Amino acid sequence: METTNTKGLKPGLNESSRRRFLKGAAGATAAGAVWFGQGARADDDRCSSTDLALVNGRILTMDASNTVASSVLIRNGRIAKVGDHGDFGDCAQTIDLRGRTVIPGLIDSHVHFVRNGTNPGYEVRIVETAASIAEMQQMIANRARSVPAGQFITCYGGWNRNGLAEGRLPTRAELDAAAPQNPVFLGETGGAGAGVTNTSGAAFFTAKGLTVNADSTLNAGQAFAALQSVQTDADKQRSTGEQITFANSLGLTMIHDHGGLIGLSQYQYVLNLWAERTLNMRYRPWFWSGDDTGFTEEQARIVNNFNKLGDSVFHPLGVGERINNNTTNPGFTAAAQFAAQNGWALTQHSLTPAEVAFHLSAYQAAATVGPIDKLRWSLCHVDPITASQIATVKSLGICLNIQGYGYTRNSTSTIPSGPPFRALVDAGIPLGAGTDATVVAALNPWLSMYFMTTGLNNAGVQLNPGQQITRMEALRMYTIGSAYLSFDDHQLGSVETGKLGDLVVLSDNPLTASNERFKRIQSLLTVQAGRIVYQAAGFRTHERG
C-alpha cells in the first residue's frame, strides 16, 4: 500500500530542490500568496510595471449576470478593474485586443493529466482535431521540425479514424512521408483501438519482439509499453512540460487530476515545476486508490495528509475518482462515511445504471454523518442518470463533474454516449465540465464543448439527442462551474475584481463561430495571475503602451 505524509509530499526532488520547495510552500501557504508579483495592493491607484491591461475587446466575464466588458486591468496578479475603460494609463503594459474575445482560463474538472503528461515520445496531440489524413500528415510534419531526428513522434489516445474523412488509419508510406527522419507511433481511442507506425517505428517495435502487421498496425497497448520501457526521468519531465504548454495553447489554466494506475512517483514531474515556481497550470489532484482491494489506502490518505495543503497553484482536492478496485464494493458506503466524518471531499466514477444507484445510496448514508454538500462532493460521468436520480442529487446538494467524451465515440451502445446535459443544467445542479482525456477522450476542451452543444461525434453522428446546451452554458461549466467544484470560485472562474488574473485571448468568438471553427478555437494569449504563460506565434503583445 502506498501512503503519503507531509514529509513525503514531494517525491523525487533532490535535496536542494526540496529545501526550496519547503521554504516556498511554507511561505505561500501561510500568506495565501500568488507567486507572480508582490507589489502594491490591487486597489492602489499607483502605477506598477507589472500591470497588464487588455483593452478594446469582448470580455465574457462569466459573472452571475454574464456581463460582457471591453477592458480589464490585472495588477499584482489579480484583477483590479473590469469595465469599458478606454485606457488604464501609460504605466501598464497595454494590449489592444482589436475586438478579440477574452474568457476566464478554462478549467478541466476531470482529466488524467499526469498520466498523459508522462506519455512516451514527443506527442503531436494536435492530431485530435485532424479531419483528414493529409491534415494529420501536415500536423506530424510540423511537429517533426521541433523533434530531434531519430526520436519518436507519438499520440496515444484522444483521436480515432472516425474523425478522418477517409475513415481509415494512415499508411506506413503516409507516415514516412510526414516524418522521414523520425519513427512515428499513433494509438487511437475507441474505434478498433489500433496502433499504427511507420518504417523506422516498425524496426523499433520488431526489435522489442512485437508483431507489426503488413499494414503497419500493431497492438497499441503493447507498443505503448515498449516505448515506456526506454523512457527516462528527463523524458517524462520534458513531456510533462510540453503537455502543459499544449494545454495552455488551448486556453486551459487549471485542471483537476483524477489520477489512475500511475502511483505517486509520477507526480514528481509536476511537483518539480511547482517547487521551481514554473508550473504554468493550476493543479488540483485527487488521491486515487482504485487498485486497492479494500479501503485502507483511502483511510491512510485521509489520516496521514493535511487536507488541501498547498497554495493557489497546487493543492490536492480529496479522495477519488476511485477508492477501490470494484466500483460497487459494498464497503464503499462505510468508506464514504469515513471521508465525510473527517471532512474530506470525495468524487466517484459512476458510469453505469447500477453504479449511479449504488453511489447515490452511499452518499445518502454519508450525508447523515457529515456535510457532503458543503464539502462539494461529486459524482463523475453519470451518463445514464434518471430524472428521479437527478432529484436525489439536487436534494443532497452535491455536484457533478461531467464530460464531452462522446466526441470520440463511434456508436450509442446500451449506455448513453453522454450525460443529459440539458436536464442537468435545467435542474440547477452545480456542474463542472471536463474531458476524461486521453485514453478515452481528446484533451482538447473545444472538442468536448462541441459535443456538449451539438451531440455530434467526430464523424458527425448524433449520439445525445435532445440534451444539447448553449455555448455559454458549456463555457460556464468549463470556468466558474469547475472552479466551484474545487472551492476556487472565490478566486477563479470569472473575470471579476479581486480574483486571480487567469485569462485567455481566443482565436475566434466562441458564441458566434461556426461549428467547424468552434472545434478549432485556440488561445492567442494565455495569462496566469497576470503572467503570460503562452503566446501564439504572430500575436503581438505590445500593441500599445
CATH 3.10.310.70 positions along the chain are 119-228
CATH 3.20.20.140 positions along the chain are 253-485
Averaged over 127-134, what is the pLDDT?
A: 98
Verdict on whether the full-model pTM lies above 0.85:
yes
Query: Which amino acid does the sequence have at 59?
Result: I
Buried b (16+ CB within 10 A) or exposed e, 490-513: ebbbbbbeebbbbbbbbbbbbeeb
Buried b (16+ CB within 10 A) or exposed e, 295-330: bebbbbbbeebeeeebbbbbbbbbbbbbbbeebebe
- Could you tell me the fold of the domain covering 119-228? Diaminopimelate Epimerase; Chain A, domain 1 (3.10.310)
pLDDT, tens digit (0-9, with 9 covering 90-100), for 456-470? 999 999 999 999 999
Pick the CATH number of 34-105+493-545 from 3.90.110.10, 3.40.47.10, 3.40.50.300, 2.30.40.10: 2.30.40.10
pLDDT of residue 414: 66
pLDDT grade for 54, boundaries at 50, 70 and 90? very high
DSSP state of 286: E
pLDDT grade for 157, boundaries at 50, 70 and 90? very high
pLDDT of residue 541: 64
Q: How far apart are CA 111 and CA 412, in angstroms?
A: 22
pLDDT of residue 48: 63
Out of 72-81, 171-180, 185-194, pick the least confident: 185-194
**Is residue 308 predicted with pLDDT exceeding 70?**
yes
pLDDT of residue 86: 63
Residue linked to cell 504563460: 533
pLDDT of residue 35: 39
* Dihedral sign of CA atoms 250, 252, 258, 262 in order: positive
pLDDT grade for 306, boundaries at 50, 70 and 90? very high
pLDDT, tens digit (0-9, with 9 covering 90-100), for 379-413? 999 999 999 999 999 999 999 999 999 999 987 66
Q: How far apart are CA 463 and CA 55, in angstroms?
A: 41
pLDDT of residue 101: 98
pLDDT of residue 98: 95
pLDDT of residue 89: 67
CATH 2.30.40.10 positions along the chain are 34-105+493-545
- Give the residue with greater pLDDT, 2 vs 513: 513
Average model confidence (pLDDT) across the chain? 90
**Is residue 544 predicted with pLDDT exceeding 70?**
no
Out of 154-158, 434-438, 541-545, pick the least confident: 541-545
Helix (H, G, I), strand (E, B) or coil at 69: strand
pLDDT of residue 262: 85
For β-strands 282-287 and 122-123, DSSP reports them as unpaired
pLDDT, tens digit (0-9, with 9 covering 90-100), for 227-248? 999 999 999 999 999 999 999 9
Contact 316, 310 (CB under 8 A): yes
pLDDT of residue 33: 36
Q: How far apart are CA 442 and CA 450, in angstroms?
A: 12
Q: How far apart are CA 383 and CA 353, in angstroms?
A: 8
pLDDT grade for 337, boundaries at 50, 70 and 90? very high
Side-chain half-sphere CA neighbours of 93 within 13 A: 13
**Is residue 346 predicted with pLDDT exceeding 70?**
yes
Averaged over 179-206, what is the pLDDT?
A: 93
- Give the residue with greater pLDDT, 91 vs 437: 437
Contacts from 212-221 at CB under 8 Å and sequence distance 24+? 215/169, 215/171, 215/172, 216/171, 216/172, 216/175, 217/169, 218/194, 219/195, 220/156, 220/187, 220/188, 220/193, 220/194, 220/195, 221/187
**Is residue 15 predicted with pLDDT exceeding 50?**
no
- For the 253-485 domain, the top CATH level (class) is alpha beta
pLDDT, tens digit (0-9, with 9 covering 90-100), for 241-286? 999 999 999 999 999 999 987 888 999 999 999 999 999 999 999 9
pLDDT of residue 261: 79
DSSP state of 528: E
Burial class (CB in 10 A: 0-12, 13-18, 19+), 93: middle
